[in-house]
């Protein structure tokens, strides 16, 4: 019993001494340039700003000093595009036999991009927040959460396990939402005109605050809203879509 208690104390002491490092870099980028992020574990916050540049701040946290040293952020500048890739240790870290916890380092990003930039995010087990973007947004997420606010461009969001809350400030371009096992909550202005096409196993998996003029009504819900417009497409293996009107 005493030995177990000592191990518990040792575990919490170990957890409390996490090592950290911060990385910061700013680069020029055209108003319609592209920014891509590829990461695993942590968070990604993207905020649009009216500047012809991208500002990248990354906070790395690891349970061990050697893991911290072997974790890095690779930033590539291609002139009209910027690529941000998380790099992690290429080996596993041992865990105490009595405990199961994730010892992988985490990277928390705060990235400012031009308002009209195109943004692509690939993440695994991360929380993603995007605000104020007028360019197109593409997100591929495996086990995480997504929150998008004040989006004026197209959205192409694919999830495998997770949840997404997306709010458009205007809907003028075709957008697609795909999920294997997760839910989408999508908010659009009341005057939005769009064509709704869904591919699901259950018609009941789609709920809408908008009146939909139905054109096909079998397993899927397909139709037009306010006379129709750009396509809003929803594909789900096991998930739900809620369309909200603001």
Could you read off the pLDDT of 6-44 as tens digits, one per residue?
A: 444 444 444 456 799 999 999 999 999 999 999 999 999
| Same domain as 70, residue 45 | yes
Question: What is the per-residue pLDDT for 203?
Answer: 62
As a whole number of angstroms, the distance between CA 81 and CA 63 comes to: 33
Helices (H), the chain: 2-15, 65-69
Q: Specify the pTM.
A: 0.87
Same domain, 84 and 177: no
Backbone angles phi, psi at 5, to 5 degrees: -60, -40
Question: Do 154 and 215 have their domain in common?
Answer: yes
The verdict on residue 165 lying in a domain is: yes
pLDDT tens digits, one per residue of 80-112:
999 999 999 875 444 433 333 456 899 999 999
Domain end position, chosen among 120, 149, 164: 120
Its domain, for residue 65, covers: 18-120
> How many CB atoms are closer than 10 A to CB 9?
10
* Other beta carbons within 10 Å of 44: 27
């Amino acid at each position: 019993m005493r030995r177990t208690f000592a191990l518990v104390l040792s575990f919490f002491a170990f957890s409390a001494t996490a090592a950290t490092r911060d990385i910061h870099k700013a680069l020029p980028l055209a108003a319609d340039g592209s920014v891509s992020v590829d990461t695993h574990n942590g968070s990604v916050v993207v905020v649009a700003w009216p500047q012809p540049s991208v500002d990248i701040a990354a906070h790395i946290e690891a349970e061990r000093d050697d893991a911290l040293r072997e974790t890095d952020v690779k930033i590539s500048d291609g002139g009209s595009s910027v690529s941000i890739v998380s790099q992690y240790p290429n080996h596993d870290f041992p865990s105490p036999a009595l405990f199961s916890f994730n010892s992988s380092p985490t990277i928390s990003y705060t990235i400012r991009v031009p308002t009209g930039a195109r943004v692509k995010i690939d993440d695994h087990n991360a929380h993603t927040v995007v605000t104020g973007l007028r360019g197109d947004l593409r997100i591929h997420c495996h086990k995480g959460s997504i929150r998008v606010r004040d989006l004026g461009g197209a959205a192409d969001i694919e999830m495998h396990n997770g949840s997404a809350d997306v709010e458009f400030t205007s809907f003028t371009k075709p957008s697609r939402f795909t999920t294997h096992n997760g839910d989408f909550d999508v908010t659009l202005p009341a005057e939005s005109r769009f064509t709704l096409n869904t591919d699901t196993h259950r018609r009941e998996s789609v709920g809408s605050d908008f009146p939909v003029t139905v054109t096909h009504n079998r397993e899927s819900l397909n139709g037009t809203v306010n006379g129709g417009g750009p396509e809003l497409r929803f594909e789900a293996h096991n998930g739900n879509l809620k369309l909200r009107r603001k």
